Structure formats: structure tokens, C-alpha cells
Chain A
Amino acid sequence: MNLFHNFWDYFIPGLTTGSMYAVIAIGYTLVYGVLQLINFAHSEVFMMGGFGSLVVLSELAPQSPHGFTSVVWVIVGMIAGALVGALTAFGLEKAAYKPLRKRNAPKLVFLISAIGASFFLYNLAGKLWGRNPVPMPELYTNGEVFSVFGTPVKITQLIIIGSAVAMMIGLDLVVNRTKMGAGIRAVAQDAETAGLMGVDIDKIISRTFIIGGLLGGAAGFLYGFGISGQVWFTVGFLPGIKAFAAAVLGGIGNIRGAMLGGLLLGIVENLSSPLFGTQWIDVTAFVVLILVLMFRPTGIMGERLGRSA
């Protein structure tokens, strides 16, 4: 149990899980930014992405692909997960939130609708694919690619970290450099005034859900592919709640904060396992969250996208 001796053995898996948390956390934080709403059904967007990619790969992918073929099927899985995630998130907004928004429902009602939608989705998944874990088709024989200070880094870990980083950079560019991104930021800062500038708020909200869904769904695939090896109807619960914690940790509404919070949470909880034992991993994550919020109630980076008042 020597943390310092085995530092990289815990750091690399921490970075891998953390990058998943980060990508999922963006979905929570984006939606919070434009609607001041915690979309508790986002964990089910992740789950549906996992199942969506699983179904597509089970149907289409060849038995134990290798080399270039593996790369192709990883990309296919990621796209399938992203699309199913986006579709789920899009439908979620239309069915569970938009009708409430049009009636100016109080915030608590949105929360209950979110929980209801979450129940509906994971029970639907349980009905469709059973309640036992379903193995994700194996796309790689889990080989070592290189080592960091003696710690072997698996190709699946490399793929997860690499794709997560790519998605985060892409998202950051979309939000900060495109017109749609400017629309999203404007709605987050002052929706009504954004409307006066000609921004169609409904369209921006819908697109925000789609973007969060693309990322969450792709993460669902990556998680099943390289971390859990399987997908089940409540697979979203723990990563979802951790990613939500990560978003709060970084400062809810703040996109770069969500990325940082996710990475930090994954690394800290993994590093804590040799210190306190693996069974305490989930506890550590929330203790860290509470400690940070005690000293910085708006999270590490603050609510940057949100209202300033």
C-alpha cells in the first residue's frame, strides 16, 4: 500500500475515469448554464449512449477485430453512442422540460420531471435489454502500448483519454469561437436580452441539450468499452452522480470548471484507494466535494457562464 511507490498505477486509471467524468459533467453544466436546471436524467443519456453503441456494435462489428479494423469500430461505437445520446437528450428536453418551461413552472417541478424521466428511461432500458449487465463487444485485446515510470498504459485507456481531450477541446472551440456558442453564452448570461438580440432561445436550449447528449452518449460508449466492459440499465447512476459532483466542484455553469472538476475527482478518488482502501473510493469523492464547497461555495472556478448578480 505504498502510494508513492505505485503513484502512476493509480494516477493513470484516475485520469481515465476522470476524463469520463469531465465529458459527462459538461452536459450537466451546459444545461445548468442556459436553464439554471440540474438535468438529473443526464445519467440516462449516458446509459442510452452505452446501450446504443452496444446494439450497433453487436449487430455489425466482426468478432475480435484488430489493427486498423479496431480503430474503425471504436469510431463507429463512439458515433453511435453520441447520436443515441443526442437523440435521448433532445427528446428529454422536448418531453420533460419544454412543456414546463412554456407554462412557467416553478423550479421544483422541473426537478421532479427530471427524476421521473430518469426512472422512465432506465426502466425502459431494463425492459429492452434486461436487468443483467450485457458485455460490450471486445474491440481490442487489451494490450500495453507504452509505460509511464514502469506503469503499463493500456490502449483502451489511451483511447478514452485521447477522445475525451479531443471532445473537450472541440466543445471549448464551439462554445467560444462559433456563433452558436455565442448564442449559448448569451442565453446563459441573460436569456431575455439574448432574445432581444434576435437569439431564438428555444433553438439554443434544444441545441445545448443535443451537444450535452453527444458528449454524454459518447462517454457511455467509452465507459462500456474501456472501463466497465459491460452496460446495464443503471450503469449511469454512479458516473452520473460523480460527474454532477464534478460539475459542482468546478463551479456549476462553468464549462472549463466542469472539465477540471471531472479530472480532479477521478484522480483524487483513485489516489485515495491505496490510502483508505478501494471500498472508500465513492466516499472520498464526496468528501472532497464537501471540503471544497466549504471553502469555495461556488466551486473552484465559480459560476462563470451564469448570471453575475
Chain B
Amino acid sequence: MTEAANFEKETAGSVTEAPAMLELVDLQVFYGAIQALKGINVTVRQGEVVALLGANGAGKTTTLRTISGLLQPRHGEVRLGGERIDGVPSHKVVELGIGQSPEGRRVFPVMTVLENLEMGAYRFKGVPKDDLERVLDLFPRLAERRTQLAGTLSGGEQQMLAIGRALMGRPNLLLLDEPSMGLAPLIVQQIFEIIKEINDQGTTVLLVEQNASQALQLADRGYVLETGAIVMEDDASALLSDPRVRAAYLGEGAA
């Protein structure tokens, strides 16, 4: 275990003292005979933004899908507030306060923007007005397009809708799978600012990204995943200046 080492390294960080919210313990996930996660350990503390970085195929999406109950680990544990949640079906995981904006956004294409947001609040009896107002405040673009079919939105708008929809479930922990994928730099900038705002309002964020530089500027800490194993973990600022990270993920020089 590297936890003792981490602890020393991170005592300088502002949220280090906060209790662990999510813990992945020696998590191993397989697709048939192929092992996608080779025993990873990840901790997300209350109030943090944690970045999970890695190239295409590293296992980032697999990690998020295992947390939200879409995949079952063959070995290891997913703990939320100290309780094991691996084995809990996905429609129950959302009730534990985990929201997800999946890879590729996955908005419901022939539902309106408003209906998509209402789906996000499916676990509640009605649609809480406050949450809807909050989301439409965060994303004024969605407010303008509330009666438009989601399938006809631009990529950036769909990403906003996917995040807004996840927020409608009132998550304590928000999982974001590559929110910058395929978007213009200006839109990416906007979306990352909103993620920061969401975090400032009290939601813990686990941010999966290939866009390492953007993600690390926003995050408190980061993990680097390579072919199913964690190869680096540190404060975001330390990772941002690490020559290996710069070479492999920020496109500087040869690896």
C-alpha cells in the first residue's frame, strides 16, 4: 500500500483532512478474459476534485462504470463513506448520491432538454423546482433550449445537458467521463468553469480526462492510469509540473 506515503505527500493540501468519500481498493475488472483494471487504489475525499488521467483504453471509463454499478469487479472493493457498494445495481447507486455524466454524453435524443433534466430527477417523487432552477442558472444555454429535442443540440450543449441531468439527482459525488471530448477549446473552457462552480457549491467531483492540462488546473489531486494500473498519483500542481506527465499527456517532447 502506498497510502502512508501519500499521506505525507499530501499534508500540505487544503482538503487532505476531509474524510474519504469514495475508495477503490485493489479493484480488478475483467471483460471476459481481458483484464481492464489490474488492482487500482483510488481515494476521493469530501469536497475534492480528483482527476483520473490516461490515454485511450487505459481503463478510465471502466473505473467509472464499476463505481456506478454497471460493471462488477472480480476482485477488490468500491466503498462509499466506508460502506461497500460494489454489487449494488446501477439504479440503486444513484440513490446513494452518485451522479454520472457518461462518456459520449448519452442524452436521451428524442426527449426535450426539460424532459432529460426531469429524467435526472427520476429518483425523486416530483421534480424539485430548486434543483431545476439551479441547473438552468448554471447552464443558461439549456434554459433557452428547454423545449428543443436533445438529439438536435450541439455537442457542447449536450455535454452541459448531461452534467445538468446528473446534478438533478442531487449527487454528493459527481462522476464526469471526458466532458471535453470533441469540443472546441472555448466550450471546454466554459464547461470546466462550471465544473469548478459545481465543486464550489459543495459537490465532490471525480473527473476523467484525456485533456490533462485542463483537468489538472482544476483538480486538487490526480491519478494517472496506464493499461489498467495507476502509475502516478500526486497533487495536481505536482503532476502538472512532472516531466513524465508533461511528456506523455501534455504533448511536450518525446516520452
B-binding residues in A (CB < 8 A): 179, 182-183, 185-186, 189-190, 192-201, 304-305, 307-308
Contacts and interface: CB of A to CB of B under 8 A. Distances in A.
B119 A192 contact: no
Interface string B84-121: 00000111001100001010001011110001001110
Contact of A199 (B68, B91, B115): B91
A189 B91 contact: no
Contacts of A199: 91, 119, 122
Contacts of A304: 110
Contact of B119 (A182, A200, A307): A182
B102 A193 contact: yes
A190 B70 CA distance: 14
B151 interface: yes
Q: Which 7 A-B residue pairs are closest in the complex by CB-CB distance?
A: A198-B123, A308-B109, A195-B90, A198-B94, A193-B106, A189-B108, A198-B122
Contact of B95 (A185, A193, A198, A308): A198
Nearest to A305: B110
Given A183-B122, A186-B111, A192-B70, A197 B169 contact: yes
Interface of B: 68, 70, 89-91, 94-95, 100, 102, 106, 108-111, 115, 118-120, 122-123, 151, 165, 169
Contacts of A196: 68, 70, 90-91, 94, 100, 102
Contacts of B108: 185-186, 189-190, 193-194
A193 B111 CA distance: 13
Given A183-B122, A196-B68, A197-B119, A189 B111 contact: yes
Contacts of B165: 197
A197 B122 contact: yes
Contacts of B109: 189, 307-308
A194 B110 contact: no
22 contacts: A179-B122, A182-B111, A185-B110, A190-B108, A192-B90, A194-B119, A195-B70, A195-B90, A196-B70, A196-B91, A196-B94, A196-B100, A196-B102, A197-B94, A197-B119, A197-B123, A198-B122, A198-B169, A199-B91, A199-B119, A304-B110, A308-B151
